[in-house]
Amino acid sequence: MSLPPGQRRVEGFPRFGAGTGRPAPAVPLDPAIKIRGAVAASFAVPLAALATLPRREITADFHCVAGWSATNLQWEGVAFETFYRRFIEPALDPGTAVTHLVFGGLDGHRSVGCLGDALAEDVLIAENLDGHPLGGDHGAPARLVSPRQYGFISTKHLSRIDVHTAEPTDVYRSPAMRVLAPHSRARVWQEERHRYLPAWSLRHVYRLLIPPIRLLNARGSRPRRLG
Ligand SMILES: Nc1nc2c(c(=O)[nH]1)N[C@H]1C(S)=C(S)[C@@H](COP(=O)(O)O)O[C@H]1N2
Ligand SMILES: [Mo]
DSSP secondary structure, 62-104, as one string = EE-TTSEEEEEEEEEEEEHHHHIIIIIGGGSPTT----EEEEE
Q: Which amino acid, residue 84? A: Y
- Whether the per-residue pLDDT at 144 is higher than 50: the answer is yes
Considering its fold, how many domains does the chain have in total?
Answer: 1
213 falls within a domain: no
Closest atom of ligand 1 to CA, residue 25 = 1
pLDDT mean over 26-46: 97
Is position 223 within any domain? Answer: no
Position 19 confidence tier, pLDDT thresholds 50, 70, 90: low
**How far does the centroid of ligand 1 lie from the alpha carbon of residue 70, in Å?**
13
Give the distance (Å) from ligand 2 centre to CA of residue 66: 6
pLDDT given at position 227:
42
Q: For residue 1, is it within any domain?
A: no
Q: Is residue 81 part of a domain?
A: yes
pLDDT value of residue 21: 76
Sort 60 into a burial class: Cβ within 10 Å, 0-12 / 13-18 / 19+: middle
Over the stretch 161-218, which tens digit does the pLDDT of each residue have?
999 999 999 999 888 889 889 999 999 999 999 999 999 999 999 999 999 999 999 9
Which CATH number is 62's domain given?
Answer: 3.90.420.10
Residue 1 has pLDDT above 80, yes or no: no
Query: Which residues does residue 83 pair with via DSSP β-bridges, in sequence order?
Result: none
Torsion of Cα atoms, 110 then 68 then 11 then 108, to 10°: -10
Over range 13-28, report the average pLDDT: 88
Domain-embedded: residue 155? yes
Q: Domain range spanning residue 37? A: 8-202
Res. 18 pLDDT band, cuts 50 70 90: confident
Mean pLDDT along residues 144-168: 98
Choosing from 144, 154, 188 the residue with most ligand 1 atoms within 8 A of its CB, the one to mutate for a pocket test is 154
Inside any domain, residue 221: no
Residue 15 within a domain: yes
Q: How far is the CA of 155 from the centre of ligand 1 (A)?
A: 6
Does any domain span residue 214? no
Task: For the chain, give the mean pLDDT.
Answer: 94
Distance 105 CA to ligand 1 centre (A): 10
Residue nearest to atom 21 of ligand 1 (CA): 15
| Residues lying with their CB under 5 A of ligand 2, a single-atom ion | 64, 151-152
**Considering only CA atoms, which residue is closest to atom 7 of ligand 1?**
17
